[in-house]
Amino acid sequence: MDVTWHHLRYSNFTDKFQLLQRKNQEPTSKAPIVHILYHPLSGQCAQVNDKNELEVGSCESKNRWVHGGNGTQILLHGTKKCLIAAGEGLPVALSDDCKSKNSSWKHVSLSKLHLATMDQHENQLCLQKDSNSSSIVTSKCICVKDDSLCLDDPQSQWFQFVATNV
């Protein structure tokens, strides 16, 4: 609250809880379990924009993801398209080329909040929300060893799969 106790100090604070405020699983549903790709720092979810690039936005988006586990593609549910990394600092895109090495993703930290792929030089690149826009890019992974001496803030690289069948 602000100093007057009449308004929120940070007007978007409640947006961070939008995923918690919605029903994500219906016990009687026959629909398959798919995933929402959630970015905890912003409280937003991954979605595909008009340029077929990944960005964060409302968790009400109908974009759902299928990830078979470490070292597999992240597929847009209902399609044969997958997330692919173009290179460090570049937007993650949706592609038909799901056989390349930069379309395979795995958890690379003990917290399981870092999702990474390999670039052409065998360097790990993690998903990261761009600090100046809603774009999701890939960048060199930070603090993936859960090292208490790491002084960088890895939260922009935290993404989590949240199961849903609604």
* Architecture of the structural domain at 29-164: Trefoil (2.80)
Q: How confident is the model at residue 148 (pLDDT cuts 50, 70, 90)?
A: confident
pLDDT at 17: 64
Does pTM top 0.75 for this prediction?
yes
pLDDT tens-place string over residues 43-91: 999 999 999 999 999 998 889 999 998 899 999 999 999 999 999 999 9
Where in the chain are the domains? 29-164
Cα angle 63, 139, 83; round to 5: 30
Buried/exposed 46-68: b ≥16 CB within 10 Å, e otherwise? bbbeeeebbbbbebeeebbbbbe
Q: What is the pLDDT of residues 4-34, one digit of tens each?
A: 887 767 666 666 666 665 777 888 888 899 9
Write down the pLDDT at residue 88. 97
Predicted local confidence at residue 89, as pLDDT: 97
Assigned token pair, 128: 């990261």
What's the chain look like in SS3?
Answer: CCCCCCCCCCCCHHHHHCCCCCCCCCCCCCCCCEEEEEECCCCEEEEECCCCEEEEECCCCCCCEEECCCCECEEECCCCCEEECCCECCECEEECCCCCHHHCEEECCCCCCEEEEECCCCCEEEEEECCCCCEEEEEECCCCCCCCCCCCCHHHHECEEEEECC
- Among all chains, which residue has been given the structure tokens 């549903």? 29
